[in-house]
Amino acid sequence: MLPDKRGHFGVFGGRFVPETLSYALDELEKVYARAKKDKKFQQELAYYLHEYAGRPTSLYFAKNLSQYLGFKVYLKREDLLHTGAHKINNTLGQGLLARQMKKPRVIAETGAGQHGVATATVAALFGLKCDVYMGEEDIQRQALNVYRMKLLGARVIPVSSGARTLKDAMTEALRDWVTNVRHTHYVIGTVAGPHPYPAMVRDFQSIIGKEARRQILAKEKKLPDYLVACVGGGSNAMGLFYPFFNDKKVKFIGVEAAGLGLRTGKHAATLVCNKIGVLHGAKSNLLEDRFGQVQLTHSISAGLDYPGVGPEHAYYQKIGRAKYFAVTDQEALEAFKLLSQSEGVIPALESAHAIAYLAKMRGKVSKKSLVIVCVSGRGDKDMGIVTENLKL
Amino acid sequence: MNRIEKKFQQLKKNKRKAFIAYITAGYPNISVTERLIKEFDRLGVDILELGVPFSDPMADGPVIQDASKAALDKGINLEKIFNLVKRSRASCNIPICLMTYYNPVFCYGEAKFCQKSKSSGVDGVIIPDLPPEEAAGFRKSAAQNNLDTIFLLSPTSSPARIKMISAASKGFIYYVSLTGVTGARKTLPPDICRQVKAIKRYTGKPVCVGFGVSQGLQVKEINRFADGVIVGSAIVKKIKENINQPDLIRKVGSFVAGLKG
């Protein structure tokens, strides 16, 4: 069972944090380990996932898209969840844990704003104070979500360092946590960060894959050939992949952001570039220069615009369990349109990257292939940026 | 015996406490850093902590963040810092610790980093985001190169961690005075004395206190119970205030002399 006791997935993972945070991570690890076995906690989480967030989400057979692509595609509809993306699966879990630890305040980092909204939502639900760190660049391009967070009672704190995107928001959130650790829980939004976050967030998100596995077996009486999901930090992908880990014939494909193109240097394809580094508390793949300075990234999708990635993905890549590819901004935009017009489903720009990869599989995989793609979120938040970039 | 160990023996003999000054390497440029090292040596600063700039310094406040960014923008890197230390060694014998985040070390290669540190004249390394649990390889390489690995303790460290980290630390133990990032504070937490004494119950190694310290009076107060004090952001801020001034070195020097008392 991975990770090991200290949070390692092979050579990846671990806990690379200032000493001040060690006690909070120890506490979280303990409380989470208890909650994992606690029937009452699990029942309460299941209750909120079902009654409040709207689980299970459907596994929808995308007939028109399948016809176009020439193989069978099912959409795992995380876009139908309350708040509009898979992020709520994790924030409900961590919100309940914050309550158990009697921490009255939560903080979060956010890129696209989906995790910020999901954290602010849970904070409102459970009566917690909430501060969300968000890069100034992202505040611009995801203005709608900024307003939503404020409406939910959260404070959105602009971050002006670095590229003013997700990485910088996370660095700033960690600084806040180091300062206010005694009464604050840091709700990390992806399968990254120091142990126990990667494993804990994976567990909370693995509801995606558990449902999908059950649903596909009910509908098709067999397992899928491919699972496809976008990867920024990698939480929706890990949530989908993990419950299929032992189904060796099911291939995992993670899709990163190639931005303006891998050769331009303006991208966020961390796994594709495959260099090891340590950022935000874990050893994983990292976009960095020769001297270990973290590089600026670019993606049209704020949620994928991150130079790191969850350590378990780095591990999956290393052992060959999953393969990772990247698609450009342009390809993602085309896929955005493709799914909207073929199925009447407007995906988030993040999820559009996964759809774009399906378009690349066209003609290259057998017609009998069965594919599940995760539509991790809906595209309402992206209307501003898409209007500017996609001519209709 | 390396320079740090020698220094603390000497201090103990003279019943003095260590004054440790931090500056960001390459801020505002390498030549100023080089001159500051000489000036600090001349002023009798006991240990120099040389900051290796990192793009994402998660334990640092705005002053050191900005200095790090400015230095990186000017092209500072580990190679240049090793050369800087080597040049400084020609004229001064002040113990030098590198303060760096883990990724630059990891990326450079732990073994190569330690060898290069030794050959350049570095005496110790402080890595705030590398706890002993993740440092097995690094500690081995450091020990092979007679390089002290200085680990940090904080107000939230449990007795078990105090024990473990004190045992792992070499040279001295860095006690982080507060829960937070680096940067000057007008008042420091009232429990520093109690915490330092708690650490001293587990170890005979020197315990030095850093984070937040910015005034001579604070230095004096902490020296009543600790073995030394580390001042960083306040000095870097002084550098910033005098940037481009012809008498920067003198101004920063007199500020440091005042802190030291």
Find the CB nearest B153 among A19, A175, A277: A19
> Rounded distance, CA B231 to CA B86, Å?
23
Q: Which residues, at least 6 apart from B144, have a Cβ–Cβ distance to it below 8 Å?
A: B114
Contact B103 A277 (CB under 8 A): yes
Contacting residues for A39 by C-beta, under 8 A, at least 6 apart: none
Whether B133 and A6 lie within 8 Å, measured CB to CB: yes
Helix extents (H) in chain A: 19-37, 39-47, 63-69, 87-100, 114-126, 136-141, 143-151, 166-180, 197-205, 207-220, 235-241, 270-273, 311-319, 329-343, 349-361, 383-389
Instruction: Of B137, B80, B68, give the one whose Cα is nearest residue B109.
Output: B137
The two structure tokens encoding residue B57: 């310094």
Residue A86 pLDDT > 90: yes
pLDDT for A204-229, tens place per residue?
A: 999 999 999 999 999 999 999 999 99
**Structural domain spans, chain B:** 3-260
Is A178 in Cβ contact with B58 (below 8 Å)? yes
Could B107 and A16 be called an inter-chain contact, meaning their C-beta atoms sit closer than 8 Å? no
pLDDT of amino acid B261: 85
Q: Which stretches in chain B have pLDDT values below 70?
A: none
Distance, in Å, from the CA atom of B206 to the CA atom of B200, rounded to the nearest integer, reads: 8
Contacts of A208 (CB under 8 A, 6+ apart): A57, A76, A78, A86, A89, A236, A239, A240, A374
A51-69 pLDDT per residue, tens: 999 999 999 999 999 999 9
DSSP B123-173: -EEE-TT--GGG-HHHHHHHHHTT-EEE-EE-TT--HHHHHHHHHH--S-E
Which residues on chain A are in Cβ contact (under 8 Å) with B102?
A: 16, 278
Nearest CA among A255, A200, A192 for reference residue A31: A200
Whether CATH 3.20.20.70 fits B3-260: yes
The string of pLDDT tens digits covering residues A342-379 is: 999 999 999 999 999 999 999 999 999 999 999 999 99
B237 touches B223 (CB < 8 A): no
Cα separations (Å) of A332 from A326, A327, A351, A390? 10, 7, 9, 11
Residue B120 contacts residue B85 (beta carbons within 8 Å): yes
Which of B65, B158, B180 faces A179 most closely, judged by CB atoms?
B180
**Cα B239 to the center of its chain, rounded Å:** 17
Instruction: Please check whether residue B50 is in contact with residue B21, taking contact to mean a CB–CB distance below 8 angstroms.
Output: no
How does pLDDT run across B38-57, given as a tens digit for each residue? 999 999 999 999 999 999 99
Residue-by-residue DSSP string for A196-254: THHHHHHHHHTHHHHHHHHHHHHHHSS--SEEEEE-SS-HHHHHHHGGGTT-TTSEEEE
* ipTM of the complex model: 0.96
At residue A257, φ and ψ (nearest 5 deg) are -95, 115
**Strand, coil or helix: what is A134?**
strand
Q: Do B156 and A180 touch (CB under 8 A)?
A: no
Q: What is the pLDDT of residues A109-152, one digit of tens each?
A: 999 899 999 999 999 999 999 999 999 999 998 899 999 999 99
A19-48 confidence digits (pLDDT tens): 999 999 999 999 999 999 999 999 999 999
pLDDT tens for each residue of A142-195: 899 999 999 999 999 999 988 899 999 999 999 999 999 999 999 999 999 999
**R_g of chain B, CA atoms, integer Å:** 17
Residue A392 in this model has a pLDDT that exceeds 90: no
Active site amino acids of A:
87, 109, 376
Q: How many CB atoms lie within 10 A of CB A182?
A: 12
Q: Which residue carries 């806040």 as its tokens?
A: A176
A58–B contact, CB cutoff 8 A: no
Contact B131 A24 (CB under 8 A): no
Residue of B nearest to A291 (CA): B104
pLDDT (average), residues A282-291:
97
Backbone conformation region of residue B102, classed left if phi is above 0, alpha if psi is from -120 to 50, else beta: alpha
Nearest to A294 among B56, B128, B134 (CB): B56
- Alpha-carbon distance A356 to A222, whole Å? 25
Retrieve residue B44's tokens: 């009798």
Q: In chain B, which residues touch A (CB < 8 A)?
A: 54-59, 61, 65, 69, 72, 77-79, 102-108, 128-131, 133-134, 151-158, 161, 165, 176, 179-181
- Spatial CB neighbours of B181, under 8 Å, sequence gap ≥ 6: A175, A178, A179, B58, B59, B60, B61, B211
Q: What is the rounded average pLDDT of the residues A300-310?
A: 96
To the nearest whole Å, the CA of B13 is away from the closest chain A CA by 31
Task: Establish whether B133 is a catalytic residue.
Answer: no
Q: Is A3 on the interface with B (CB under 8 A)?
A: no
Cβ neighbours of residue B138 closer than 8 Å, sequence gap 6 or more: B105, B110, B114, B127, B130, B149
CA distance A286 to A266: 14
Residue A1 has pLDDT above 80, yes or no: no
| Neighbouring residues of B84: CB distance < 8 A, sequence distance ≥ 6 | B25, B30, B33, B34, B37
**With contacts defined as CB-CB under 8 Å, which chain B residues touch A20?**
154-156, 176, 179-180
Q: Are strands A226-230 and A251-259 parallel, antiparallel or unpaired?
A: parallel
Question: Amino acid letter at B45?
Answer: V
**Could you tell me which of A233, A199, A228, A234 has the C-alpha nearest to residue A212?**
A228
Residue A162: the pLDDT is 81
Using an 8 Å CB-CB cutoff, list chain B residues near A273: none
Q: Is the CB of residue A83 less than 8 Å from the CB of residue A152?
A: no
pLDDT value of position B173: 98
Q: How far is CA B254 from the centre of its chain?
A: 20
Partners of A106 in beta bridges: A130, A185
Amino acid at A138: D
Residue of A nearest to B156 (CA): A20
Q: What are phi and psi of A176, to 5 degrees?
A: -60, -45
Cβ <8 Å between A294 and B103: yes
User: What's the alpha-carbon Rg for chain A, to the nearest Å?
Assistant: 19
Is the Cβ pair A162, B55 closer than 8 Å?
yes
Strand ordering across the sheet containing A8-9:
A8-9, A12-13, A282-285, A276-279
Q: Which residues on chain B are in Cβ contact (under 8 Å) with A281?
A: 129
Contact B126, B97 (CB under 8 A): yes
Which residues, including other chains, have CB under 8 Å from residue A169's CB and lie 6 or more apart? A109, A110, A111, A133, A134, A135, A138, A159
Query: Largest Cα–Cα distance of chain B, in whole Å?
Result: 50
Phi-psi category of B225—alpha, beta or left, where left has phi over 0 and alpha has psi -120 to 50?
Answer: alpha
Nearest to A18 among B108, B128, B134 (CB): B128
